[in-house]
Amino acid sequence: MARSQYRKLKTAGELHRLMSMHYGQARFLRLGRPVAWVTSGAPVEILRAMHLLPLYPENYGALCGARRQAVGLCQAAEAKGYSPDLCSYARSSLGSIFDSRSAPMHGLPKPDVLVCCNNICGTVVKWYEAVARHYGVPLFILDAPFIHDDVRPHLLKYVQDQLAELIRFLQSKTGRQLRMERLQQVVGLSNDAVQLWSEIRALCKAKPSPLNAGDLFVNMAPIVVLRGTRSAVRFYEHLKAEVEERVRNGEGAVPSERWRLLWDNIAVWHHLYPFYNYFVEYDGCFVVDTYTGSWSQEVSSGEPLHGLATAYATVFLNRSLEYRTDLMVDLIEAYDVDGFVMHCNRSCKPYSLGQYAIKRAITERTGVPGLIVEADMCDSRSFAPEAVRTRVQAFMEALAG
Amino acid sequence: MAQGTCQGYQIDASQELRSQNWAGLVGEVYQTWKHRYAGRRAFGYLCTYAPLELLHAAGLTPVRLMPLGAAVALVGAHLPSFSCAPARAVTERRLQGELGFLDGVLFAHACDTMQCVADIWRMSGDGPLVLTFSVPTVLNGPHAKMYLLAELQQMAKALEARFGAPITEDALRESIAVYNEQRRLLSELYEQRRRFSTEEVWALTLLGMLIPVEEHCALLRSSLSQKLDQARTDEHGAALLLVGAVFDDPSLLGLITELGGRVVGDDLCTGSRYFDTPVDEGAEPYSALAERYLLRPPCPAKHAGIGVRVERVLSLVRATRSDGVIFLSPKFCEPHAFDYVALGDELDKIGVAHLLLESEVTAPEGQMRTRLQAFLEMLEQTSR
C-alpha cells in the first residue's frame, strides 16, 4: 500500500507561466486584438490565424472548480434563475459575470464575439445564447451534428460550409482578415502540439506509467487553450522529454504501481489529486483516460477547411456510445488496463448518461471490471467523499482478491 | 349526447374528462394498440422533429412515446437519476416489455439526453429497431436546408430498404396532405377552445399523437361540428398560457380548473409546437418538409436566432391575452431551464406574472397545489 503522494513534474513551472500568460494577455496585453470566447471544441485555428484572442469559459470553469471557488459563483447564477441542475461550468461562468468581484481574476474580460461549436454538447448552445443576450455581442454557432453511425459526406459538407460562414462572420465583426497561408501555418502548429501530446500519452503504456490522471488533466490545458501557438509546441516538447526521462529511469507516477486503471469523463476538479490518491493508496495508477485524448485528432493535409471540418465534426464526444465503447476497449488492451473508473458527472449528460450501458459492454467484452462514481466536475456540493471512498475501497479490494 | 368516435376510442365530448378516466384511457394505449389496430405497423417517436409524413408514406403509423404515468423501477440500472422523466419513463416502458407492439422507434436529434437514449436502446441488443434522424441544431443557418434534405432522403432510403415498399412522390404528397389536415383541425380546436373544457382540448390534442392520424382527423371533425352550436363557456378565472415540453399528466389541469384558472393557449411540445405551421403542398415534397423544420416555432433545443423563442412566447401572451404564464419544465432539462431565465426576464419587463413548475417522475402534488393556488389567487387580486 502506497502513501498518498504526488511526484511533481519539472515542467510545472513552465505550465503555470503559460497559463498565466494566457489569462493575462487578454486582460493586459491585448494590443488591439479582439477577444473571442470559444468552446473547447471550436476550430480555434481559424481565430488564431486571424489574430483574435481566444478565451475558454470551460477552462475557466475548471479553474474555478480546482480553486474551490465554483460554489459561490454557481449560487450567483442560481440567484438569477439558472437551475442548479445545469452544467456547473455554465453556472460558474455565468456566475462570474454576475458576481465578478468574487470570481477568480474577477472573471474573464468581456468578449467581442462568441464562437460556439456543439460538437461536445447541446448545453453550450444555450449557455452561449445566454452570454450573447447578456453582453449583446455577436454569436456564431458552428453546428456539428451528432454522429450515431458512420460519418456521412453531407455532414462533413455541412460543417465545412459553415466554416466558410464563420470566416465571413469573423471578418465582418472584427475587421480582421484571414490569409490561407497563415491558417496553414497555425494548423501545422496545432498538429505538432497534438502529435506531441499523443506521444506523451502513449508513453504511459510503460510500466510503471510515468504519469497519473492528475498529471494528464493538468497538462492538457495548453492543448485546449493554446493549440495553434508555438508556446504550446515548445511546452509539449519539454514535457515529452521529461516524461521520456521518467520512462528511461523506470520512474512511475505511482512507484508501487500494481493496478493499471482507465478513467472516463472529465476530472473531479475540486478534488483532483485527493480523488486519484484514493486509488494510489491501493497501488492504483490511472494510465489512460478518455477525455484528455479528445484533442488527438490531427487536421489532415490538403484543403484546410475540409481538414478542420473533419477533425472537429468527429471528436470523441460527437460519436455514438458504441464508438466510444470500442475506443475504450482498444485503450484497455493497448495500455494493459486492469480496471476502469467512470465519473458519472452530473454536469455532463453526453458523457455520463450512457455509462451504465458502456460499462456493461466493456466488462462483457474484456472481462475487466468497472466502477461508476457519482460526482460533479466543478460543483463540490454534488460530491460525497466518504461514500465514494468506501466504494473505491471495495472496488480495489475486489481487483486484488 | 355529443360524441366523437373513432375505431377503438370513444370520447364523450360533452362530459369533462376526469383524470382517472383519462389515465385509464391513455395509459392503456400502448398495451392495447396492437389489438385495436391489428394490421397497422406502429413506429414510435419521441420528438416533434421526427418526419412523421415520411414514416406515414412508408406505410407506418407513427405513435408518440410519452411517460403517460409510467412509474420507474428498472430504469435506475440504465440511466442515472439526473436524467429527465420522459427519458426515464419511456425507457422504463421498454424495459418492462411494453413497447413490443412497435416495429421500430425513430429518434430525431434534439437534446443531449435523447441522443444518449437512442444509443443506449440500440446497444441493449433487444427491443425495437432504432433509427436515428439528424436534425440541424441551427435552424436559421444558410446550409441547414441542404443538410436536412440529405437527411430526409437518407431516411427515406433506410425506410424503403427496411420495410420493402418504395416511398413514391404521390404517397409522400398524400401523407403531407393528411398531416396538414390534422394541423388545420388542431388549430381550429385551439381557436374554438372556449367551447370545450380545458381537459377536453388537452385530451383531443394528445390523442392526435397516439392514434392513427386519419382517425384523429375524423374525431376532431365530429367533435368540432358538435360543439359549434354550443354557447361559449364564460370567461371567468385567470387566463393562463402553458409553456414547456411534454405535458401528459392531466392532474395538473384538473388542479388548475379546480382552483379557478383556465388555459388559453400554449407553447408545448405536446401542444402547439406539434401542429404549428403547415407544410407547403405546392412545393416539391422533400423541400417543403425541410422548410417546415426551419419555419415552425422552435423547440428550446434548437437555435433559430437570438430572441426568436422569446418573441414567439410574447406574441402568444398578447394574442391570447394571458394573465399569467405557467412554465412546465421537466426537471433535468437544459434547453427549457436556460430558456426559462430569458423568458422570465422578458415577462417581468411587460408585467406578466409567471410560475415555474418543474415536473419529475413522481411529482410532489401537495407542493404544486400550494404554489399554484397562491399564483392563481395573486392573479385574481391583480385583475381586480
Could you tell me if A372 and B81 are in contact, meaning their C-beta atoms sit under 8 angstroms apart?
A: no
Q: Which of residues 296-355 of B touch A (CB under 8 A)?
A: 300-301, 303, 306-307, 331-332, 334-335, 337-342, 344-345
Pick from A118, A132, A354: CB nearest B119:
A354
Say whether residue B154 is in contact with chain A using an 8 A CB cutoff.
Answer: yes
Spatial distance between the Cα atoms of B218 and A213, rounded to a whole number of angstroms: 62
pLDDT at position B17, please?
A: 39
Say whether residue B82 is in contact with chain A using an 8 A CB cutoff.
Answer: yes
Pick from B136, B332, B340: CB nearest A145:
B136
Confidence of residue B26 (pLDDT cuts 50, 70, 90): low
DSSP string, B55-90: HHHTT-EEEE---TT---SSGGGTS-TTS-HHHHHH
Q: Which of residues 261-320 of A touch B (CB under 8 A)?
A: 320
Coil vs helix vs strand at B132: strand
Q: Which residues of B touch A353 (CB under 8 A)?
A: 79-80, 83, 87, 112-113, 116-117, 120
- Measure A192 CA to nearest chain B CA, in Å: 32
A1-15, A93-107, B129-143, B198-212 — which is least confidently predicted? A1-15
Question: Which residue shows C-alpha cell 412566447?
Answer: B313
Amino acid letter, A158:
Y
From start to end of chain B, where are the E strands?
Answer: 4-6, 9-11, 42-45, 61-64, 102-108, 130-133, 239-244, 262-267, 324-330, 353-359
Q: Which residues of B touch A125 (CB under 8 A)?
A: 137, 303
Candidates A143, A329, A346, partner chain B, best to mutate (most B CBs within 10 A): A143
Looking at chain B, the whole-number percentage of residues with pLDDT higher than 70 is: 90
List B108's β-bridge partners, or say none: B133
Which among A369, A158, A341, A363 has a CA at the least distance from the CA of A263?
Answer: A341
For the stretch B211-215, contacts whose Cβ atoms lie closer than 8 Å and that sit 24 or more positions apart, written own/partner, are: B211/B6, B211/B8, B211/B9, B211/B29, B212/B37, B212/B40, B212/B61, B213/B52, B213/B56, B213/B62, B213/B178, B213/B179, B213/B182, B214/B178, B215/B6, B215/B7, B215/B8, B215/B9
From start to end of B1-69, where are the E strands?
Answer: 4-6, 9-11, 42-45, 61-64
Give the Cα-Cα-Cα angle B22, B25, B30 (nearest 5 degrees).
Answer: 130
Confidence of residue B366 (pLDDT cuts 50, 70, 90): confident
Whether the per-residue pLDDT at B32 is higher than 80: the answer is: yes
- Altogether, the residues listed in chain B come to a count of 384
- Measure A204 CA to nearest chain B CA, in Å: 31
Spatial distance between the Cα atoms of A341 and A327, rounded to a whole number of angstroms: 15
Q: Which residues of A touch B79 (CB under 8 A)?
A: 353, 356
Confidence of residue A226 (pLDDT cuts 50, 70, 90): very high
Spatial distance between the Cα atoms of A256 and B314, rounded to a whole number of angstroms: 64
Sheet containing A370-375: give its strands across: A284-289, A259-264, A339-345, A370-375
pLDDT at position B364, please?
A: 66
- Measure B79 CA to nearest chain A CA, in Å: 6
Counting one residue from A and one from B, how many pairs have CB atoms under 8 Å apart? 146
Say whether residue B119 is in contact with chain A using an 8 A CB cutoff.
Answer: yes
Average pLDDT over chain A, rounded to whole? 96
Mean pLDDT of A352-358: 98
A304-308, B32-36, B139-143, B152-156 — which is least confidently predicted? B32-36
Confidence of residue B20 (pLDDT cuts 50, 70, 90): very low
Instruction: Name the pTM for this structure.
Output: 0.96
Pick from B82, B138, B340: CB nearest A141:
B138
Could you tell me if A264 and A328 are in contact, meaning their C-beta atoms sit under 8 angstroms apart?
A: yes
Q: What is the ipTM of this complex?
A: 0.96
- Alpha-carbon distances, residue B160 vs B42, B151, B349 (angstroms): 16, 14, 52
pLDDT at position B68, please?
A: 86
- Alpha-carbon distances, residue B378 vs A215, A324, B316, B372, B375 (angstroms): 56, 52, 21, 10, 5
Q: Tell me which DSSP letter residue B234 carries.
A: P
Mean pLDDT of B30-45: 93
Candidates B47, B82, B107, B140, partner chain A, best to mutate (most A CBs within 10 A): B82
Q: Are strands B4-6 and B9-11 parallel, antiparallel or unpaired?
A: antiparallel
Q: Which residues of B touch A129 (CB under 8 A)?
A: 303, 306, 338, 342
Whether the per-residue pLDDT at A54 is higher than 80: the answer is: yes
Confidence of residue B8 (pLDDT cuts 50, 70, 90): very low
pLDDT at position B362, please?
A: 67
pLDDT at position B15, please?
A: 42
Which among A207, A231, A210 has a CA at the least distance from the CA of A221?
Answer: A231
